[in-house]
Structure 1
Amino acid sequence: MSLFHRRGAPPPRAEQMIPQRPQQRAGTAVVTADTALRNSAVWACLRLRANLVSTMPVDLYRRVDGIQVEVPKPPVLIAPGGGKADLPEWMYNTQFDLDRSGNCFGIITAVDGLGFPACIELVPVSEVTIKIKDGKLHKYRIYGHDYDPWEIWHEKQYTVSGLHVGLSPVAYAAWSIGEYLSIQQFALDWFSNGAVPSAHLKNTAKTIDPDAAEEAKRRFKAATTNQDLFVTGQDWEYKMIQAEAAGADWIEAKRYGVGDIARFFDCPGDLIDAAVSGSSITYANMTQRNLQFLIMHLGPAVVRRENALSTLTSRPRFVKLNTDALLRMDPQTRAAVLGAQITTRQLAPSEARELEDRPPFTESQLAEFDRLFGKGATPTPQPAIPAAPGGTTP
């Protein structure tokens, strides 16, 4: 259709200017933040990221003469939800919402003497509407009530310029997730009430007339509907139509869908027990694997959470999430690292023992070392046990 028309010609009708929306095909699944959780890969990705972030200790620091010094935490960093949620649960809920919808919201129900939030009660993302006025965030509408921006805790990720909200990975992954859910629905329809015959009951001895066929069908359905036994002679054969092929195609499509979803949610497939084919990446130990996951996948989210939580306190204080819990080393590696730091004088023996939750050496213990190794001598470090093939230690 031309963009120009002659003067005096009747204007085009609305149905000519706006193309009609194509009808939704049967079997297409509608993906939302809630229905996406039916996919085990979505649940595993969200659960893994939220579990790890919520179990990282939250510490508060300030710099004194260039040295990072830990300071006491305010109540909002101990129990942000007041008596309703402690810090690990609050962190799990917010991280789950951030990874699922790109935003998390809470109503600030109390403030401290300096005007900083003292209690933040989280609300479902689905109950929040944002009002924009003159390009600026004007109001939050929650449960039918309007709130000013200073009354709401709003944390976001996956942002783009010009938007006041974060983007949802579910929206971008809807195409892949929708394919997976559609396949699930197709499989259920196929094995329950599909449009094609679900099976073929054949008499191998003779040709039967329509009345006999109808009677055999009635008897068969009456027996199998209640999961009863169906008794036949030597002349009947029961065959599922393409059931094996349909099941194989379903499983194959599910396998490839899991990889797509893992990429959308920034979570390696092997960490959620997904089948990873064609990968030749190996790791010497679990610490290296966790370090790669922390740097490439979870690290940016951790930094964003630290910056957001730092706004709950006055400057120059800042929040740090302790990622050492994710990078726990095996006892042999940990002993080797601490020994090297003591030898190079980066760490004092008393500090190393404190990291191991042990008290400093007593005078009698030091005297025992002197008797064994000589006064002032340093014990010779033992060579590390060689790693077995595959990166494991015997």
Structure 2
Amino acid sequence: MGVWSRVRNAFTRDAQITSAEELLAMAREQRGGGGGAVYVTNDTALRHSAVWACLRLRADLVSTMPVDVYRRVNGIQVEVPKPPVLVTPGGAQVGLNEWMYSTQVDLDRAGNCFGIITERSGVVGPDGRGLPARIELVALGDVTVRATGSLITKFVIGGKSYEPWEIWHEKQYTVAGLPLGLSPVAYAAWTIEESLNAQQFARDWFAGGAVPLAELTNTAKTINEAQAKTAKNAFKAAVTTGDLFVHGNDWEYKPIQAAAQQSQFIEARQYGLGDIARFFGCPGDMIDAAVSGSSITYASVTQRNLQFLIMHLGPAVGRRENAFSRNLVSNPRYVKLNTDALLRMDPEARTRTIGLRITNRTLAPSEARALDDMPPFTEDQLAEFDRLFGSRSVPAQPTTVVPGATP
């Protein structure tokens, strides 16, 4: 029986389970864990550079996307003011960028994020209560979830019980019948553990913990344990302080070099990078972990970022938009994360694209100026163009031709 089948069975009755560490332990137990030098948890996984790089990249991008609120008026999307919870969701001390970064890291490494709703607005939400106005995030390890089937009945945070409507809970990587999202760390534990153990072996090796760093041999005679200890201490005392080591012609010092076929930690770490990148939804080349011998060429940075947005980051952005639209704003308003920042073009391509849009009448010149945070042209500025390029001419309006009509 798979680990998540066991977890699902546990939830068919009134169950109590910690959202992050306990599910991770169950996954480790299912795959026969134990005995490893490094025990991987959501926190220890951050010691691996590939895990950190994936989480940082995704959270950096999502947290810096502008969050906008809209509603449709006569079929047209119109931007409306944002509620306070989408400006300073954690109060005056925690702005939106920091709040979004923290929650995205928890979602990507554990499949869940939690916060206590400490303030509500006067706008009634879908549950008949005021919409959240302040959400104070809590550490994953402090949260315990009680559930019956797929329905969460209670949250316990720091020993205190909360009703479901008192808690902000987002989840991703879900499966049917489970009230919690899955933890990528739990499934990636084998790969992460192998890489962390390789790092531990490397540290032990170069610190002298795996094998001796060198050997000091008396080539003239056999010495006893006491004499060996005396020689060792004298040698260490000399080289540690940078002093001279005085000896006869019967001592030989030989460093011991790490044999590649014995350590293999470099190869183990390289293989681990690609696996971890796949678990956490980041292309290897974007975290400097490209596989040796493979090469992917993109026409531009914009094209590369577009592929990353569509194939990796876009679904996570969509889930967050849906969660915010359902629970943080009142219907018919909805929330959108502006992904345009991720698709920035180089100045030449951007100028060319804007020019084409103006020519094709999908963008007004004043709107193009606004994209660069500049006001519309003044009459004096337009007069300068007249002097340089001739009199202004009004483009002809498109003509609709009706078949069979008399011109």
**Same-fold call, TM > 0.5?**
yes
Shift of 1:193: 5.4
Q: In structure 2, how many angstroms separate the alpha carbons of the residues matched to 1:313 and 1:106?
A: 17
Shift of 1:85: 0.8
Q: Structure 1 counterpart of 2:167, which letter?
A: I
Deviating more after overlay: 104-113 vs 365-374: 365-374
Q: Which residue number in structure 1 is paired with residue 205 of structure 2?
A: 190
Shift of 1:155: 0.2
Residues 81 and 290 (structure 1), Cα distance of their counterparts in 2 relative to 1, 3 Å cut: same
Contact 2:214 2:253 in 1 (8 A): yes
Q: Equivalent residues in 2 for 1:290-301 (5 A)?
A: 290-301=305-316
Deviating more after overlay: 223-232 vs 125-134: 223-232
Q: Structure 1 counterpart of 2:118, which letter?
A: T
Q: Structure 1 counterpart of 2:386, which letter?
A: D
Offset from partner CA, 1:108-167 (integer Å, 9 cap, x none): 111111211111111011111110135521101111111111110000000111110001
Q: Equivalent residues in 2 for 1:221-370 (5 A)?
A: 221-224=236-239, 229-232=244-247, 235-245=250-260, 249-311=264-326, 312-370=328-386
Q: In structure 1, how many angstroms separate the alpha carbons of the residues matched to 2:43 and 2:134?
A: 27
Residues 329 and 135 (structure 1), Cα distance of their counterparts in 2 relative to 1, 3 Å cut: closer
Q: For this pair of structures, how many residues does the alignment match?
A: 357
Q: 1:208 aligns with which of 219, 222, 225?
A: 222
Q: Equivalent residues in 2 for 1:1-394 (5 A)?
A: 24-25=34-35, 28-114=37-123, 115-133=130-148, 135-192=150-207, 194=209, 196-204=211-219, 206-210=220-224, 213-224=228-239, 229-232=244-247, 235-245=250-260, 249-311=264-326, 312-376=328-392
Q: Structure 1 counterpart of 2:372, which letter?
A: E
Q: Which residue number in structure 2 is paired with residue 5 of structure 1?
A: none
Residues 201 and 378 (structure 1), Cα distance of their counterparts in 2 relative to 1, 3 Å cut: farther
Contact 2:149 2:177 in 1 (8 A): no
SS at match of 2:343: coil
SS at match of 1:63: strand
Q: Structure 2 counterpart of 1:93, which letter?
A: S
Contact 1:267 1:297 in 2 (8 A): yes
Q: In structure 2, how many angstroms separate the alpha carbons of the residues matched to 1:284 and 1:170?
A: 34
Deviating more after overlay: 177-186 vs 93-102: 177-186
Q: Structure 2 counterpart of 1:252, which letter?
A: E
Shift of 1:228: 5.5
Q: Structure 1 counterpart of 2:176, which letter?
A: S
SS at match of 1:109: strand
Q: In structure 2, how many angstroms separate the alpha carbons of the residues matched to 1:229 and 1:105?
A: 61
Q: Which residue number in structure 2 is paired with residue 392 of structure 1?
A: none
Q: Structure 2 counterpart of 1:43, which letter?
A: W
Shift of 1:368: 2.7
Cα RMSD between the aligned structures? 2.5
Shift of 1:348: 1.0
Residues 231 and 161 (structure 1), Cα distance of their counterparts in 2 relative to 1, 3 Å cut: farther
SS at match of 2:391: coil
Residues 221 and 378 (structure 1), Cα distance of their counterparts in 2 relative to 1, 3 Å cut: farther
Contact 2:149 2:178 in 1 (8 A): no
Q: In structure 2, how many angstroms separate the alpha carbons of the residues matched to 1:188 and 1:117?
A: 48
Q: In structure 1, how many angstroms separate the alpha carbons of the residues matched to 2:352 and 2:192?
A: 46
Shift of 1:197: 3.8
SS at match of 1:130: strand
Offset from partner CA, 1:204-252 (integer Å, 9 cap, x none): 5x34343654543343344456675534455433223342537962222
Q: In structure 2, how many angstroms separate the alpha carbons of the residues matched to 1:291 and 1:247?
A: 43
Q: Structure 2 counterpart of 1:82, which letter?
A: G
**Structure 2: gaps of 5 or more residues:** 1-30, 124-129, 396-407
Residues 40 and 233 (structure 1), Cα distance of their counterparts in 2 relative to 1, 3 Å cut: farther
Q: In structure 2, how many angstroms separate the alpha carbons of the residues matched to 1:305 and 1:70?
A: 18
Q: In structure 2, how many angstroms separate the alpha carbons of the residues matched to 1:277 and 1:214?
A: 47
Offset from partner CA, 1:271-296 (integer Å, 9 cap, x none): 22224322221122211111111111
Residues 160 and 228 (structure 1), Cα distance of their counterparts in 2 relative to 1, 3 Å cut: farther
Q: In structure 2, how many angstroms separate the alpha carbons of the residues matched to 1:70 and 1:280?
A: 42
Q: Structure 1 counterpart of 2:49, which letter?
A: S
Shift of 1:254: 1.5
Residues 166 and 23 (structure 1), Cα distance of their counterparts in 2 relative to 1, 3 Å cut: closer
Q: Which residue number in structure 1 is paired with residue 11 of structure 2?
A: none
> Which aligned segments of 4 or more residues in structure 1 are displaced greater than 6 angstroms?
none
Q: In structure 2, how many angstroms separate the alpha carbons of the residues matched to 1:181 and 1:167?
A: 22
Deviating more after overlay: 369-378 vs 260-269: 369-378
Deviating more after overlay: 145-154 vs 289-298: 289-298
Q: Structure 2 counterpart of 1:257, which letter?
A: G
Q: In structure 2, how many angstroms separate the alpha carbons of the residues matched to 1:24 and 1:227?
A: 43
Q: In structure 1, how many angstroms separate the alpha carbons of the residues matched to 2:117 and 2:45?
A: 29
Q: Structure 2 counterpart of 1:109, which letter?
A: T
Q: In structure 2, how many angstroms separate the alpha carbons of the residues matched to 1:33 and 1:323?
A: 28
Residues 24 and 319 (structure 1), Cα distance of their counterparts in 2 relative to 1, 3 Å cut: closer
Q: Which residue number in structure 1 is paired with residue 12 of structure 2?
A: none
Return the TM-score normalized by structure 1. Answer: 0.84
Percent of paired sites with the same residue: 68
Q: Which residue number in structure 2 is paired with residue 15 of structure 1?
A: none
Residues 238 and 155 (structure 1), Cα distance of their counterparts in 2 relative to 1, 3 Å cut: same
Shift of 1:185: 2.0
SS at match of 1:36: helix
Contact 1:187 1:247 in 2 (8 A): no
